[in-house]
Amino acid sequence: GQQVMQIPQYQHVQEGEDFTTYCNSSTTLSNIQWYKQRPGGHPVFLIQLVKSGEVKKQKRLTFQFGEAKKNSSLHITATQTTDVGTYFCARTGNQFYFGTGTSLTVIP
């Protein structure tokens, strides 16, 4: 139905390693958004992807939207301790349906 699945649920990386989280939908998405929730905080909007195959970068973060608009990924290069948190994708329309989230732990 409306849900988007994210994998992995948890990821532990050494500082400096790369990290990727994947978001998958069984239906075509009109667009996809990504949010970050720091420990003890609230979700904060990062970016929106709209076009098929779209790639956007924010410093060390790279966001991709699949060609079929059914999946998306967030890749972080050379993680830092400030990257710790849970990353959610969200399908949008009249509501925001959030993925299950990937919790990232960065080990210094």
Partner 1 sequence: DSGVTQTPKHLITATGQRVTLRCSPRSGDLSVYWYQQSLDQGLQFLIQYYNGEERAKGNILERFSAQQFPDLHSELNLSSLELGDSALYFCASSVQPGQGSAEAFFGQGTRLTVV
Q: Is 11 in the site for partner 1 (CB under 8 A)?
A: no
Q: Among residues 43, 64, 76, 79, which is the contact residue for partner 1, using CB under 8 A?
A: 43
Torsion angle (degrees, nearest 10) of CA 60, 6, 55, 36: -50
Nearer to partner 1, 80 or 96 (CB): 96
Smallest distance from partner 1 to CB 86, Å:
8
Q: Among residues 63, 99, 104, 106, which is the contact residue for partner 1, using CB under 8 A?
A: 99
Are 96 and 45 in contact, with CB atoms under 8 Å apart? Answer: no
Angle at 4 between CA 72 and CA 37, to 5 degrees: 80
